[in-house]
Amino acid sequence: MTPEDRAWEVVRRAFEERTPAAARDAKGASNRLLLALVAAGAAAAVAVAVITPPGHAVLERVRRAVGIEHAAPVLVELPAKGRLLVVSPGSGAWVVDADGLRRRLGTYADAMWSPHGLYVVATTSTQLLTLQAGHGIRWSLPRRGAFWPRWEGTHTDTRIAYLTPGGALRIVAGDGTGDHLLARGAGAAPPAWDPGRLHTVAYPSSGAVVLREADTGTIVWRAPVTFRPTSLVWSSDGRLLAAVSARRVLVLGRNGAVRRTITTPAGTFGSAAFRPRTHELALSVRTQSSSEISLVGADRPGRPRELFAGPGTFGDVVWAPDGSWLLVDWPTANQWVFLSGGRVRAVSNIEEQFPRPDRPGATLQIGERWCCAG
C-alpha cells in the first residue's frame, strides 16, 4: 500500500467512525472538516490548513502523505470549456486555456475580459488600457490609480466602467473614446453591468445601490441599503442583483425591490457568484478558523446547501461559463478546488504557478474571469 493509500484509509475510517451532530457545535464543525478531508483524499490533491503551530505539524504530515508537496507545479486542464483570466495583484495577469496552456499578459494591477472574451481591459498605476493576448495593446488612457475596470456590450457596441481614486465612476467606449464621469462616491464595490439592459450599470452610493444608464446618466432605480456592499453580483438574465456585505446579502429584483435577505449567524460573507442561467448563488462564508461554500436559491425561501468546507480562508469563486463547475481559490492550502455535484478536482502549488515575489500566499483574483465557452 502506497503512502497515499494509507493516508486515504486513515481519513476514510475517521470519517466513517465520526459521531453525528445535530447542531452547529464543535463536533459538527469537526465533522465538516473531516468531510473536506475525505473529498481531498479522493481528489489526491487537496491540502488542509490550520492556524495553530501543532495543527501546522499535522498539516505538514498530511501533505507529505498524499504527495502534495511533491506535486508538479503544472496547471491541469480546466474541467469545462472557456479560458480563465488570473490576476496576481502587483505581479501580473495570465490567461489559462482549457488545455492548461498558460500565457502571461504583463504586469497589471487588474484585468477583466471584454464581453465575448476577444480582448482584455487592464490597469497599471498610471493607465487604463485594452489589449489582445498575443497581439499587444490596442489603446490606452492616462489614468493614475484607475481600478476595478468592467467591460460590457455587444460585439460592436461596448462600454467600460472603471473607478479612479476618490470613488469617481467613469465610462469609456470599448474603442477608447467618449471617456466621461458618471458618478462620484461610488468606490465601495466594483461597478456591475446589468446583463438585461445594455449600457446600464449598478454601483453603491451613499446608502443605496443605484442602477444608471451609462450614456445619458438617467437613474433607472435607487434601492436604499443599510450596509456598505463589498460586491454587486448579477444573475445572467439580469433579473436579480445580489448586494453582498460581510454580514448580509440583499437580493434585489429587476425594479430594485428587495426579493430576499440572506444572513450568516456565525461568520462573514466573502465571494459570491450566480450560477449561469440560474438564480442559484454560490456564497463563501468565513468563520473563526474555517470556511465553507454554500449554494442558495436567491429568489426563494430555503436554507443554503453546503458544497464544500475546509480550514483557513477561501478566496474568489467563479463558475465555468456553462455552469457545470465551480472553481474555489483556497490560498491557505495553496490550492484551487473545482466542484461539480459530488465531484472534486484540485490543483496544487498555485503560488508557484502565479507567483508574487513580494507577497507569498497572496489571494488571486479570478472572480467573473472564467469566460466564453463558445
Which of 59, 162, 164, 73 minimizes the C-alpha distance to 112?
Answer: 162
Domain membership flag for residue 308: yes
What is the residue range of 239's domain? 225-314
Write down which residue in 314, 337, 353 finishes a domain: 314
Residue with cell 502534495: 68
> Which residues, 6 or more positions from 38, have their beta carbon under 8 angstroms from its beta carbon?
11, 12, 15
Residue 267 covered by a domain: yes
Q: Are 310 and 270 spatial neighbours (Cβ–Cβ below 8 Å)?
A: no
In a domain, 296, yes or no: yes
Q: Residue 172 and residue 221: Cα distance in Å, rounded?
A: 22
Q: 25 Cβ partners below 8 Å, 6+ apart?
A: none
- Smallest CA-to-CA distance from 327 within 346, 302, 355, 304 is with 346
Name the 3-class secondary structure at 36. helix
Question: For the chain, how many structural domains are there in total?
Answer: 2
The DSSP call for residue 76 is P
Report the pLDDT value the prediction gives residue 133, as an integer from 0 to 100.
80
- Please tell me the predicted confidence (pLDDT) of residue 120: 97
In a domain, 55, yes or no: yes
160 found inside a domain = no
- Give the span between the Cα atoms of 229 and 95, in whole angstroms: 29
Find all residues with CB under 8 Å of 308, minimum gap 6, and list them: 36, 39, 292, 293, 328, 337, 339, 344
What backbone phi and psi angles, to 5 degrees, belong to 142?
-75, 110
Asked whether residue 54 is domain-assigned, the answer is yes
253 found inside a domain: yes
Q: Are 142 and 129 in contact (CB under 8 A)?
A: no
Instruction: Measure the CA–CA gap between 128 and 150, rounded to whole angstroms.
Output: 11
For the chain, what is the radius of gyration of the CA atoms?
A: 21
CA distance 149 to 143: 12
DSSP assignment string, 186-247 = -TTS--EE-TTSTTEEEEE-SSEEEEEETTT--EEEEEE-SS--SEEEE-TTSS-EEEE-SS
How far, in Å, are 44, 198, 313 from residue 341 at the CA level?
18, 33, 22
Q: Which pLDDT score, from 0 to 100, does residue 216 have?
A: 97
- Of the residues 314, 332, 351, which one is the last residue of a structural domain? 314
pTM check: above 0.75: yes
Q: What is the mean pLDDT of each run of 10 residues along the chain (374 residues)?
A: 40 37 38 39 36 39 35 67 91 90 92 95 96 90 97 96 97 97 95 98 96 98 96 98 97 97 92 98 94 95 92 96 97 92 90 74 87 74
**For position 315, what pLDDT does the model report?**
95
Last residue of a domain, one of 286, 314, 342: 314
